[in-house]
Amino acid sequence: MKIISLKDVATTVPQMDGAQGIRKQVPLGVADGIPTMSVRVFTVAPGGHTPFHSHPWEHLNYILKGRGVLRDGQGREHPLTAGDYAMVSPDEQHQFRNPSTDAGGSGEELQFICLVPKERE
Per residue in 33-88, pLDDT tens? 888 999 999 999 999 999 999 999 999 999 999 999 999 999 999 999 999 999 99
C-alpha span between 31 and 27 (Å, rounded): 10
Q: Are 39 and 31 in contact (CB under 8 A)?
A: no
Q: What is the 3-state secondary structure (H, E, C) of 8-34?
A: HCCCECCCCCCCEEEEEEEEECHHHCC
Domains and CATH numbers, the chain: 6-120 (2.60.120.10)
* Residue ranges in 1-121 assigned as alpha helix (H): none
The predicted model scores a pTM of 0.91
Whether the per-residue pLDDT at 105 is higher than 80: the answer is no
For residue 93, the SS3 value is coil
